[in-house]
Structure 1
Amino acid sequence: MIYLKNFQLLSEKEEYHLLLDEKRRIFNTIYPFHLFALDQPLNFEFEPITIFYGDNGCGKSTLLNIIALKLQAERKTTIDKGIYFKNYVSHCSYRLQNQDQLREIKMITSEDIFDYLIDIQAINSSVHRKKDELCEEFLNYKYQDSSNFIHDYEQLKNKVDANKKTMSAYVRDHLKTNNIISQSNGETALLFWEKEIQENAIYILDEPENSLSATNQLKLKKFIEDSVRFFNCQFIISTHSPFLLHLNHAIIYDLNDFCKKEWSQLDSIQTYYQFFKERKEEFEK
């Protein structure tokens, strides 16, 4: 499904006239002006999967932020790039289609994934601490005389409970939550994507491969492809991952050269290819 059909940035001339109207002396930066300034405005046509590729510093994340702000995308991490950024975005243009089916526009960054992993680790640590406390509590109730708790109904009830149960059963029943996530960070990150991605939506993803092994990147690749095929999602992605760069039926914009390219034409893919080609015999032993 295609919801966002195209998005147009400012030309060099348009940037110049816009900057003339600003009080430049007040601000220390005019970001993102001049980052995408060409004779003709950059006009991106979108497919169900559109990928922005390029070296660090080429503007991939900036472009995603421009698109997200213009589309008023929902996001977990708020940004404030300043008055110039907002002014630049206000002069960009875009075209949506199939809006009657579009339920959500959301931007998800690598920072969102890291925050999710940290939250899960904190929950797990809290649960582990509570388990230790309950083990100590179980032993205290089990081996003390009932007369010590005769005037406290709750403690007496716990004493009876400890006498009837094993330690593991006591801890399990007294723990408010037992939902410790035992997966690796990569597996937990995959759960994050399964939780966040819904049907009939646009998702703007900034380097979603972070925290994922090669195997899990391939799983994410299939998940994105299935979300497009079966759940009418559209994805706009910035990535360095050779696996995500090979998403089926994706269009790739190389921001190093401001042009469309095939997967096999990308500099990083050529580098991988040459590296493994020179070591081909090591895989054929």
Structure 2
Amino acid sequence: MYLKRITLLRENIPSFEKYPFSIPSIKELDTIHFTGKVTFFVGENGSGKSTLLEAIAEKTGFNTAGGGRNNSYNIHAADADLADFLRLSWMPKITNGFFLRAESFYQFATHIDEVAEEDPIVLDGYGGRSLHQQSYGESFLSLFTNRFGGKAIYLLDEPEAALSPQRQLSFLRIIHDLTTRENCQFIIATHSPILLGYPGATILSFDDEKIESVEYERTDHFQITSYFLNNREKFLKDILE
């Protein structure tokens, strides 16, 4: 584990009435301690999980459009406001890693193609061929299996967006191998009940106007999915009639 703690410098914030500080979970944020190699951020859309993850990426020096420290290209990315008021505590400090934004992955793939025009060997880090020549799911797994490794931190925003259930299971294996064999750290914002089931992971919920640890079985993702699978006909009748 490398990133040990993030602290919101509350005394420096001019107003909690303006975005992103007006988001309830951010407004109540003080300090988050990371106690394991895999941490999940969960919560409803707009709860602040992606906002905080992007701010961590900004503070770490990653391209908030997606990529690592050496990926330089511009699209609409994260607001830097929150990052300016975060303190990250490391032991040791590392600079290797990657920030994945599922919504801007197409632009990242285009950026890699442009770099590869001058240095084709770059594609070796992505399975040996353009990410655009692979399916969405294949390109994600290619990134995970070829680009990820070593002593690094990986910040992933909804990686399940491109992954079928079967490939989400494959991704769990990748996480396991990278954390146990190569000592990587993951912080992942997700809605996937499959990914959240990773054994030993810390799950931080951004709902209920604060950030707090929650057991897997207490997440809405598990409870709603479990209820739907076990009571599909009744569930659909209740919401459709």
TM-score when scaled to structure 2?
A: 0.73
Whether 1:43 aligns to 2:31 is: yes
Q: Look up the match of 2:239.
A: none
TM superposition shift of 1:103: 5.2
Indicate the structure with greater helix content: 1
Q: Look up the match of 1:33.
A: 21
Distance 1:183 1:69, change over 3 A: closer
Q: Look up the match of 1:246.
A: 197
Are 1:117 and 1:189, in contact at CA under 8 Å, matched by a contact in 2? no
**SS across alignment from 2:192:** coil
Q: Look up the match of 1:71.
A: 60
Q: Look up the match of 1:18.
A: 14
Whether 1:262 aligns to 2:218 is: no
Are 2:5 and 2:31, in contact at CA under 8 Å, matched by a contact in 1? yes
TM superposition shift of 1:186: 2.1
Are 2:60 and 2:95, in contact at CA under 8 Å, matched by a contact in 1? no
Distance 1:264 1:197, change over 3 A: same
2:96 & 2:59 partners in 1: Cα distance?
14
Distance 1:19 1:180, change over 3 A: closer
Structure 1 gaps of 5+ residues are: 21-28, 121-178, 281-285
Distance 1:278 1:197, change over 3 A: same
TM superposition shift of 1:65: 1.1
Q: Look up the match of 1:98.
A: 92
CA RMSD of aligned residues (A): 3.1
1:97 & 1:276 partners in 2: Cα distance?
43
**SS across alignment from 1:95:** strand
Are 1:116 and 1:192, in contact at CA under 8 Å, matched by a contact in 2? no
**SS across alignment from 2:27:** coil
**SS across alignment from 2:97:** strand
1:225-251 Cα distance to aligned partner (Å, 9 max, x none): 211011110001100111111122210
Q: Look up the match of 1:3.
A: 2
Which residues of 2 match residues 48-197 of structure 1 at below 5 A?
48-74=37-63, 75-76=66-67, 78=74, 85-86=80-81, 88-99=82-93, 102=94, 104-115=96-107, 184-197=135-148
Aligned partner letter, 2:49 = K
Distance 1:214 1:10, change over 3 A: same
Are 1:52 and 1:238, in contact at CA under 8 Å, matched by a contact in 2? yes
TM superposition shift of 1:116: 5.9
2:162 & 2:19 partners in 1: Cα distance?
29
2:228 & 2:78 partners in 1: Cα distance?
39
Whether 1:204 aligns to 2:155 is: yes
2:109 & 2:62 partners in 1: Cα distance?
23
TM superposition shift of 1:267: 1.1
Q: 1:277 aligns with which of 209, 226, 230?
A: 230
Q: 1:214 aligns with which of 162, 165, 174?
A: 165
1:185 & 1:81 partners in 2: Cα distance?
22
Are 1:106 and 1:203, in contact at CA under 8 Å, matched by a contact in 2? yes
Aligned partner letter, 2:230 = K
How many aligned positions are there?
205
Are 2:97 and 2:148, in contact at CA under 8 Å, matched by a contact in 1? no
1:80-110 Cα distance to aligned partner (Å, 9 max, x none): 656xx43x422321210033xx450321110
Are 1:117 and 1:185, in contact at CA under 8 Å, matched by a contact in 2? no
The structure that has the greater radius of gyration is 1
1:40-68 Cα distance to aligned partner (Å, 9 max, x none): x4311112011100011111110111111
TM superposition shift of 1:262: 0.9
Q: Look up the match of 2:119.
A: none
Q: How many percent identity over aligned positions?
A: 32
**SS across alignment from 1:276:** helix
1:24-53 Cα distance to aligned partner (Å, 9 max, x none): xxxxx9421222112xx4311112011100
